[in-house]
Structure 1
C-alpha cells in the first residue's frame, strides 16, 4: 500500500512538472498580409508561456548594414508588446553585413494572450525603410485571404484576351488613376512613379504622391499605343494603353510584397497583382498581364554560354534561343491568343537588342569568366566584328512593323538598330524594304533632340519628315508647342540662376568660374538631367540648403550639352544655386582634370580656393556634415 502511494505520488509529481513546463507552439514560415521591406523575412515564430520569439533573416548587399530599432513591438488585438531583448544583433546598433549579405537574429517579446491569431510587427521609427510586417498568421490551418482589392473590381466579368488590337499612331491626353489597395500609414511607397516611352516621349518619368484615400492621378500626352510602368518601392507593374485612354489601376500591395518575398513567394497563394478598369481597348490584355509569368527566354547562363564565341557563332546561338522561345509560346495552350502575340513581340524586341549588342555582350562574358570588373578599362580582349551579314537576321525577326510598339524594349530595340546601322541605304537592304515602321523610325532620328534643344530641324530632317506619314509632322508640331510653352514658363524662374560661361580656355574655365565665389565654400555638383541618381541626390539635398542660408556657402551645378536645354531649364527652376551648361569639350576637360569616373560627382572648394573631388560624400547627410565643418 505504501509502495503504491509512492508510485502515485511520483506520477503526480511528474505531472505537475510537465504542467509547469512552458507550453510551446511553433509556426514555421508564417504567412503575412503585407510587409514593408523585401530584405526582412520571418522564418519562425515560437509562442510559449514565457515569451514570444521571432526568428528573422535579413538579406542585403554585402558591405551594407542593418539596424533594428529598440522600440520594435508586436501589435496584437490592439495591444503593444515591446521587444525585451535580441540575439544575433544588438538593438539600436548598426550591424555590418557579412560578405554573404545574410544575417539571422532572434527577437524576444512578452508572451501573447491565448486566442491571438495574427500579429503585426512594427518598428517604432517612422522613417522610410522601417521593418514593418502586417498580419503575420499564427494559425497555419487558416489560409490567408486577399482582401485588399474592392470586391466590385475583382469580381467583374473579365473577358479573355483572345485578340491583340492593332497598334495605333495618334495623339491624346491619357489619364491613369492609381489606387494602392492595402496601403498602411507606416508603409513606404507614398510616391508612385509612372514611366512611359512612346514615339515622342522617350523615357518620360512622372511622379505623384498619394492622397488621403491612397490614390493619385496622372495625366500626360501620349502619341502612340505603348506600354508604361507603374511602380513605387513596393510594387512594379506594366500595362498597355492607347492615347486618350482613361483608366483606374487597383494595385494589391499584399500580393506585391508576397511576390517580393524570398520565403513566401512559393508558399502563399498567388493573386492578381493589379486590375485595370476604364475606357481602353486593353482591359482584357492588362488583366492577363497581371498574372505571374516566367519568361522562357532565360538569361541565367547566357554570358557563360557565349564566352569565346565569334560573331557567326554568337548570332547563331541568339537565333537558336529566339526560335526555341517562339516555339514554346506557340505550344503554350494556356495562353490566350492576344497574350501570346503580345509576348512574341516582346521576344522580338529583346532579340533585336541582343543581335545589335554582340560586341558588348561578348566583352561582358569575357569579363565575367575572368572576374574582371568594369573599373578596369584596359583588358586583353578584342570583340569580333559584326557586319551586315549578321544583322540580316533582323529580316527573319520581322520587326519592320507598327505593332513593335508593343515590345517591352521599344523604343530602345529600335534605337540600337539605328545606332549600329547608321545608314538608311544599309538598313533598307538588310530589311529588304524601303517602307515600314522601322524605316520611318530611322528617318525620325534626331528630330526630338533638336526640338528639346530648341534648334531648327536640318534640311535632311525636314526632307525625311516630308517623306513619311503626315501624322509625324502634326505630332512634332504639338511637341514643339508644348516644349516652347514649358521653356517660356521655366525661364521666368530659371534665368536668375543661370550664369554666363566665362570666355576662357578649357584649362582656365573651372578657376574662372570659382573666382566668382572667392573666399566662400563652394559645392560643385557635376550632373545631368537624364541621370536618375543625380536627380535623386539633388532632390534629397535641396531641403538641407536652408541650414546654409546667409552663410558663405555657394552651390554650383555644372552639366553639359547631353542635358537637353529645355529639360535643363525646367529642372533649374527648382534647384537653388548657380547653374552652368558647358559644351562637351569644356565638360570633358574638367572631368579629366579631377578624375571624374561617373555622375553625380562632387568637387568641394574651400575658402582658400583649394578644390578636391569628394565622391566619398555621395549622400546628403555626409555632404551637409562636410560643408558645416568647413564654415
Structure 2
C-alpha cells in the first residue's frame, strides 16, 4: 500500500494572535497596485500573490492559497516583508487569523488579505517571509515593476545551452559505472532547502534516492553512486521538483538548475486559473553529458498539452466495458493522441519524446485493464473499502490485450527512454499476460525484464542465489549479470557496515492472528504508539523526523513506548541504516504478517498508527496523520 498522507507544515506560533486594526485607518487609499506580480522563486507553491497594493500607510497583499481540501495552513503573526535589508512587519489580516489553523475548503483554494507596514517609495521588489522558522512560507523577488518574464541565467556555460531540436531520442546504454552528478542551483537561497535529493528511476523499474548537502555559498550539491544502465533522475529541493535528467552510467554530469522555475510554475497556474498570459517558455535545467540535448529539450517548460491517457483518474475506463470494448478503448485513445502529436507544431525530437511517453502509458493501461475498470467502479460509487469485492467485471482476455502489440513494437529498447519508464517496466513484467507469446517475441528487452523481475529487491536485500546468477549468466545480454553482481556486492558491504549499529527485534513466533497482541503484551500499563511505515514512504519519514526531538522533550516518558512496524519491501540496507536514528522498538514483518495486520486494522495506506492505552485496548488512529493531534492525544493519554 503506497498511499501517502500529510498535513500542512506546522508554522511557529507567535506571542499571541494580533487583533485586526481598523482597516480603513491602517490601509488607506491606494497609491499603486500591481496585479499578479512576477515571483522569482519560493520554498512553496501553496501561496501566490494576486495583487500588491502600495499606500502611504500600508502594503497590502491579496493572497491566494492552494492546498489539499480539509487540510490546514497557518500564517504566523511574526510574518514580514523584506526589502533593502529591512523588515516591514505584519499589522493585520482579513479572511485569516494569524497563528490559527486555516482549514482549506473542498475546492482546495482560498483567498485572504495580509496588511504590512508600508514599503519605501521606489521599492522595485521585496520578499514575503512567514516568520523565521525553517519550514515557514517564503516567497522571494516579488516584482513591483510589471516584469512578466524571467531573465536567462548568464552563469550557464555556453556549451550547455546548445539544442538540436531535430535530433533523435538516443538509445539506452546497457553498462555499469560510478556516476557523479554535480547540481548547481542558480539563484539559490539557503531558505529554499539545505539538502537536495536525487531520485533515480532505473531501467529495472525501481527508484533509488540519494541526498546531498547544498553548499550555502555556491549552491552546489554533488552525488556519486553506482549506476546500472541509463537512468532518469529527478532533482528535488525542499520537496519541489527542480528538474529531471537522463544520466549515462560512469559519467560526470553537470546540471545547472534555474530556481526561478518555482516562480514560473506559479505563472502557469495563473495562466490556467486567471487567464493571465505568460507566453515565453522557460528552461529549468541545463545539462552536460551524453544526454545533454535530450535533457535540455525535456526541461523546456511551456503550457503545451501532455497527451496522457489519464488512466488513473477513475474516469478513463467504464466498468461496464467488456474485454473487447476495453481493449478497443485503449487502442482508439492511443490512436487519437498519437495523431494529435503527429499534427502538432512540436520539433521532431519533442514529438518522439511525447510519443514514447504515450506508448508507455498505453501499454500500462492495457496491462492494467482489470484494475482500471474496477477503479472506475470504486470512483463512481465512492467504494474505497478494498475488502468489498467488485463483481461482474469480465477479465481482459489475452486475445484482446494483444491489440496493443499491433500498434507499436513493445520490445523497442527506446521505450526505456520515455518519462513513464517505471510504468512500462511494470507492464512488461505483468503476470496478467504472457507478452512474449502475444507479441511473438523470441528475445530482447521484454523477455529480459520478465526474467529479472524481482532481482532488484533481492539484490538490495543480499538475497540473490547461485541459481539466480546462473540464470543471468545464460542470458544473451551480459549486462544483467554484471549489474546485479555489483548491486549485491555493494549492498553486502553496506549491510556489514551498519549491522552492528542497528537492532531489529525478534518477531514473536506466534500465529499471525495473535501477533499484534504478542507485540504489545509486555507493555501493559503503558501507552504504546504503533507506527506502520516503510523506508520508501516519504510522509512516513517526515512524520518520524518530526517526532524524534519530542522523545527527549514534550513526549519524554518511561510510560510511552514507540513501536515501528515495517515489512520486507524496505530494503534491508536502507532499513538498518535508518533505524539507529529512530528511538523505539523495530519489527520487520514478512508479507503475510504485514497483510494480516493491515486487514485487521483496515489500514488504507502508510503512515498509519495504532494507539494502545494503558489498559491494553487499541484502535487505529489515522487522524494522527495530523501531527499536532498526535502530540496532544499522547500527552492526554499519559496524564490518565
Structure-1-length-normalised TM-score: 0.86
**Residue 563 (structure 1) aligned to one of 555, 558, 570:** 570
Selected match of 1:350 from 340, 343, 361? 361
> Which of 610, 618, 633 is matched with 1:603 structurally?
610
427, 448, 454: which one aligns with 2:456: 448
1:226 aligns with 2:231: yes
Determine whether 1:210 maps to 2:210: no
Return closer, same or farther for 1:242/1:566 CA change in 2, 3 Å cut-off: same
**1:598 aligns to what SS in structure 2?**
coil
What's 2:16 paired with? none
Report the Cα offset of residue 291 of structure 1: 0.8
8 Å Cα contact 1:234/1:257 also seen in 2: no
More displaced stretch, 160-169 vs 219-228: 160-169
Pairs within 5 Å for 1:585-624:
585-624=592-631
Looking at structure 1, the residues matched to 539 and 47 of structure 2 have their Cα atoms a distance apart, in angstroms, of: 25
In structure 1, C-alpha distance between the alignment counterparts of 2:431 and 2:209, rounded to whole Å: 27
- Cα distance in 1 for partners of 2:534, 2:29 equals 62
Aligned position for 1:163 = 168
Displacement, 1:41?
1.9
Deviation at 1:303, TM superposition (A): 5.2
Please name the residue that 1:483 is paired with.
Answer: 491
Q: How does 1:28-107 map to 2 (within 5 A)?
A: 28-107=35-114
- Secondary structure of the structure 2 residue equivalent to 1:61: coil
The correspondence of residues 153-552 of structure 1 with structure 2, limited to 5 A, is: 153=157, 158-161=162-165, 162-187=167-192, 189-199=193-203, 202-212=206-216, 213-232=218-237, 233-261=239-267, 262-263=269-270, 267-268=277-278, 270-278=280-288, 280-293=289-302, 294-299=304-309, 304=315, 306-307=317-318, 308-332=320-344, 334-335=346-347, 337-368=348-379, 370-375=380-385, 377-378=387-388, 382-396=392-406, 397-421=408-432, 426-457=434-465, 459=467, 462-463=470-471, 465-494=473-502, 497-547=503-553, 551-552=558-559
Aligned length: 599
Name the structure 2 match of 1:17.
none
Distance 1:33 1:61 in 2: 24
Contact 1:490–1:569 under 8 Å retained in 2 = yes
Between the aligned partners of 1:22 and 1:594, the Cα distance in structure 2 is 59
Query: CA shift at 1:203, angstroms?
Result: 1.2
SS at match of 1:587: helix
Q: Which runs of 5+ in 2 are unaligned?
A: 1-27
Distance 1:389 1:577, change over 3 A: same
Partner residue, 1:16: none
Contact 2:130 2:136 survives alignment (8 Å): no
**Bigger CA drift: 395-404 or 555-564?**
555-564
> Structure 2: how far apart are the matches of 1:66 and 1:587?
34
Structure 2 equivalent of residue 14 of structure 1: none
Taking the aligned partners of 1:129 and 1:534, their CA distance within structure 2 comes to 20
Deviation at 1:608, TM superposition (A): 4.1
- Structure 1 gap ranges (5+): 1-20
Residues 110-125 of structure 1: matches in 2 within 5 Å?
110-125=117-132
Judge conservation of contact 1:443–1:465 (CA < 8 Å) in 2: no
Once the two structures are superposed, residues 171-221 of structure 1 have per-residue CA deviations (whole angstroms, 9 ceiling, x without a partner) of 01111112222223433x333221112245721112223221222111111
Is this contact kept in 2: 1:83–1:109, CA < 8 A?
yes
Name whichever of 481-490 and 614-623 sits farther off.
Answer: 614-623
| Residues 361 and 154 of structure 1, relative CA distance in 2, 3 Å threshold | farther
Query: What residue is the counterpart of 1:12 in the other structure?
Result: none
- Which deviates more, 574-583 or 375-384? 375-384
Q: Which residue of structure 1 lines up, in the alignment, with residue 136 of structure 2? A: 129
- In 1: Cα distance, 2:150 partner to 2:520 partner: 62
